[in-house]
């Protein structure tokens, strides 16, 4: 699978972890899609037993990757992705959906590269 935005961010030193409310087989699905070499890990609620926005979903990632606290949560759900991330002090980007309270949002994945290059955002951690 061609993922130019993930590849571009990887080339800039960013590391990618999937945290999803999905099935236990999510890791195999990402590998089948050709994403395996772009991801350092995959967490799914089907394996951890905890769904976003619960803080324990995010804490599972932080336990293995403490440096992830300085990263970004990128997702299309205001409640699960953005509110969940903000509750644990993580910056977030709402993609494809709009919400009046979202500090950072964009219409497509292409815009994420520019957003993360800017660094911290007003109103964010």
Give, in order, the Cα–Cα distances in Å from 104 to each of 23, 33, 36, 38. Answer: 28, 28, 27, 24
Residues of the chain with pLDDT under 50: 122-125
| Predicted local confidence at residue 51, as pLDDT | 98
**Domain architecture of the chain: domains with CATH:** 4-118 (3.40.50.1000)
What pLDDT does residue 123 have? Answer: 43
pLDDT reported for residue 122:
46
CA torsion, points 68, 72, 74, 78, in degrees to nearest 10?
110
Instruction: Tell me the whole-structure pTM to 2 decimals.
Output: 0.88
């Amino acid at each position: 699978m061609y993922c130019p935005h993930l590849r571009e961010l990887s080339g800039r030193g960013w590391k990618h972890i999937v945290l999803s409310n999905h099935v236990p087989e999510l890791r195999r699905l990402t590998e089948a899609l050709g994403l395996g070499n772009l991801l350092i890990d995959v967490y799914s609620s089907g394996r951890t037993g905890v769904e976003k926005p619960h803080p324990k979903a995010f804490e599972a990632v932080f336990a293995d990757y403490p440096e992830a606290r300085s990263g970004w949560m990128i997702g299309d759900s205001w409640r699960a992705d953005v509110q969940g991330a903000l509750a644990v002090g993580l910056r977030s980007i709402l993609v494809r959906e709009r919400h009046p309270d979202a500090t950072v949002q964009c219409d497509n994945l292409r815009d994420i590269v520019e957003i993360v290059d800017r660094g911290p955002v007003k109103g964010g951690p």
